[in-house]
Amino acid sequence: MNNEQEYRLEFFKERGFIRKQCPRCKTWFWTLNPDQTYCNDAPCVEYTFFKESKAPPFTVTEARRVFIEFFAKRGHKPVEPRPVVARWRDDLYLTIASIVDFQPFVTAGIIPPPANPLVVSQPCIRLEDIDNVGKTAGRHLTSFEMAAHHAFNYPDKYIYWKDETVRYAFEFFTTELKIPPEKITYKESWWEGGGNAGPSFEVTVDGLELATLVFMKYKVEDGSYTEIPLKIVDTGYGVERIAWYSQRTPTAFHAIYRELLDKVMKMLGVESPRENILYTIGQYASRVDPENLESLEEFYKGVSQATGTPIEDVKEILDKLERAFAITDHTRTLALMLADGIVPSNSGEGYLARLVIRRALRSLIILNPDTSLADIIKLQIDYWRNDFPKLKENSEYIIYVTQLEEKRFRELLRRGETIVSRLISKYKGKTAIPLNDLIVIYDSHGIPPDIVKEKAERMGVKVEIPINFYSLVASRHSRAPLKKEEYKIPENITKEIKDLPTTKMLFHEDPYIKEFEAKVLKVINGEYLILDKTAFYPEGGGQLADEGYVEVNGNRIRVVDVQKIGDVIIHKLEKTHFTIKEGLKVKGVIDWERRYRLMKHHTATHVILGAARKVLGHHVWQAGAEKTVEKGRLDITHYESLSEDEIERIEREANKIVFQGLDVKTGFMRRDIAEEKYGLILYQGGVPPGPHIRVVEIPGWDVEACFGTHLKNTREIGLIKIINVERIQDGVVRLEYVAGEAALEYLQKLMRELNNIAKKIGASIITLPSRVESLLEELSEYKKRMSMFKRAYMKLLVNNLILSREKVDNINVIVSILDNLDYKDLSDVVKSINDKLKEDNVIILFSKIPNRIIYVAAVSKSLADKGLTAITIHNNLVKHIKGRGGGKKDYIQGVTRAEPNIDEIKAIISDTIKHK
Ligand SMILES: [Zn+2]
Ligand SMILES: [Zn+2]
């Protein structure tokens, strides 16, 4: 869809812009320069701004400031950027553009924007092009700041649209960056994303795209476009690109990182080429289209010819440079991700953080294995301390987690050899390992593809690693899986309630209501009851549904389940022969004891979460929760198992809040106001829909968007006891706890068990520890004596067995049935006999242990060498003894259930010896 009219603007006409088409990329563009042929963007043209730019040199910090001031002066309100982790979105992990800040609620017109028009510089992370970083002189980065001005045009409130936006870009570039007007090119383009679409312009100057101006005006559904009432100006200026353009450095990395880049290169042992060579590299890099391998070859050839360096040397130099640039880029991205509390793991945003760490580490180990990634991260934290103060504030966490991940990765590489061998053994004899399998190997074991390739090719199996391997992997993980709403009520029932009004939720107005009266709105199949209001809590937010009964004309019918579909609450009733008529009044009574326990476990869950954050840090985020009558369960993000001390501290902090008796505040708030007041921490348990959210606050301790029923005061919890803590997966720790009566019941049960144990060993609970201590001492004394006796016994046994030997053709044959010896004992006995009796021996020993009989069949080495092996003997015996066994030439071990017959065994052996 590209309608020329979308791009014809008053501004272009007024200034005399002409419309042309680029013969290389076929894009239409607008320019003031009648002689311009190409679209002015790489790779259609080379970078010429190194020579051409007259801009005052701006650092990243200055570029950001100049942009914000420019738009602030022109009526835009500066707003704070959001985290790089998109906590307010449940469909997306990372903030990939400034517009993400306002999706979905502002862009859908559900809540107003924080200001209109506004200006923001939003740090963004995009991993879809991660493999290009370093190849294109800095056109591709994994993290960048998108400076943006946004205007939201409502049907009754117009701000501004295309003309003004294009004018702003023109004014900004000509005044602030001193770019001559005839160099500014507006490329016509079309933008689509997140179900919206609209025309856009890419603003390019001297080979570099500096800004994108998007006009969101369509909704895309099944390939058709309908205009939306809210039309949004969505712009994105590259802060790093502006800094690069204005500083005229050979690559963007030089402009962004300046002295930091030198330090990193030195640490990695990568020597920087001379400046004129760097410029040659920068210039040729503008022609690189990383998707196109030929263009990469052209790039190497170009640099080789221009600098008079052999192409193989150029490739080596560029490979090192590329890796150093990528490490510099990735470590900033990582610092930003960790500062926003991501915990590296195998899923969600944690997976993406680990991907960045591992890609950086792989290159770091190749360049200089003695460098530590954490040391480079430290430089980043210091370098960006004023731009992103949160890096400094969270530096301890960032550095610790980087070190931990580094240690884990290096360990993986050490173990990698064996893991890879095991993984790829199944490809033996095949010609290649398919890409999908390569990705699965990375996904499930974290093993980089180049290591698989090295090993596989030694085995003769080909491995093709696509140049965009990590990009492919990242794009598979960049979006959260769509959460399908699954109702426990059959679809034919939910269909029937569509037109019913919202159920009045008495449990929110007063969570302590135990009984209520309500009017019957609908009964479906005599089993599903809908009332005009209810105190029955429907299952949700990890809290189980209420139970109880409704009373109709003096008859009680049990309520077995309660579910919420949209805004309507459905009570599932026990099957009865009573008929409930619509319009009737019913009395509802909830099982209060059950509900009160659920409330205690729910409020306790919020208290525990606050305590975990206080003790472990702000990276702790709820990963799941469940509140039942018996206990509460909370899964939190954390990078390692909890120590006993940490568990005790969490428990102490939680109970402090219980004993302090804090009032729990609940109420509905407009989403943007709640976010402004409490921050994104609200969305611990997920992002609820709609303009209003229910906020549950324990003042000074915890605040969450939560639908559940809560106690009025934390004192009602009584006591919280943590009963189990385990690391359920990489990056996630599960806490289970009991509160109120459940805590008392748990402690009583614990005491009963302890009492039982104490009684069994003749102690009381008080004397239990010292009694256990002395029992353990006794036990070790017995063990010592046991082994002494055993040694004596074994010696005796060996002597007796030697005495029992029978000669067949000058070979000693020993067969015996023993008791309670294990394989190790039997092998010791065999060894002792062979040592003492330096002759040709055949030894068959059985040992009866509970439920079965184990055996060994051995020959002395001398005999095995002569060709009579344990294998031969075992083969002849195995049928008779009904055994199963295996081993080496001189030693077989096995197991049987049949009672052995010594005489027959001896006969078989002597037969074997005579026929050898
Ligand atoms: Zn072009
Ligand atoms: Zn909750």
* Closest listed residue to residue 656, CA positions, set 606, 607, 711: 607
Q: Is the peptide bond before 117 cis (omega within 30 degrees of 0)?
A: yes
**CA 134 to ligand 1 centroid distance, Å:** 22
Task: For residue 147, give every residue at least 6 positions away whose Cβ sits within 8 Å of its Cβ, in sequence order, or none.
Answer: 63, 64, 67, 68, 119, 120, 121, 122, 236, 237, 238, 239, 242
**CA 665 to ligand 2 centroid distance, Å:** 12
* Closest listed residue to residue 342, CA positions, set 356, 329, 328: 356
* Shortest-distance ligand to the CA of residue 29: 1
Kindly report the CATH number that applies to the domain delimited by 596-748. Answer: 3.30.980.10
Size (the chain), residues: 916
pLDDT per residue as tens digits for the range 125-161? 999 889 899 988 899 999 999 999 999 999 999 999 9
The tokens describing 54, both together, are 């007259």
The tokens describing 514, both together, are 């135990």
pLDDT per residue as tens digits for the range 432-477? 888 888 888 888 788 888 888 878 887 788 888 887 888 888 888 8
Kindly report the CATH number that applies to the domain delimited by 805-914. Answer: 3.10.310.40
Kindly report the CATH number that applies to the domain delimited by 4-255. Answer: 3.30.930.10
* Shortest-distance ligand to the CA of residue 694: 2
The structure's pTM equals: 0.84
User: Cα–chain-centroid distance for residue 169?
Assistant: 38
* Shortest-distance ligand to the CA of residue 610: 2
**Protein residues with C-beta less than 5 angstroms from the ion ligand 1:** 22, 24-25, 39, 44
* Shortest-distance ligand to the CA of residue 189: 1
* Closest listed residue to residue 374, CA positions, set 356, 397, 400, 347: 400
The answer regarding whether domain 491-590 maps to CATH 2.30.30.140 reads no
**CA 23 to ligand 1 centroid distance, Å:** 7
**CA 105 to ligand 2 centroid distance, Å:** 22
Residue 818 Rama label (left phi>0; alpha psi -120 to 50; beta): beta
Q: For each successive 10 residues of the chain (916 residues), what is the average pLDDT?
A: 83 96 95 94 87 91 98 97 93 92 90 96 94 90 97 96 98 96 96 88 94 94 89 97 95 96 96 91 87 86 91 93 96 97 90 93 94 97 96 96 95 83 80 84 82 81 83 80 69 86 95 96 91 95 93 90 93 84 92 96 97 96 93 95 97 98 96 94 89 95 95 97 94 96 94 94 91 94 93 93 92 93 94 92 94 93 90 90 90 91 92 84
In the chain, the percentage of residues whose pLDDT exceeds 70 is 99
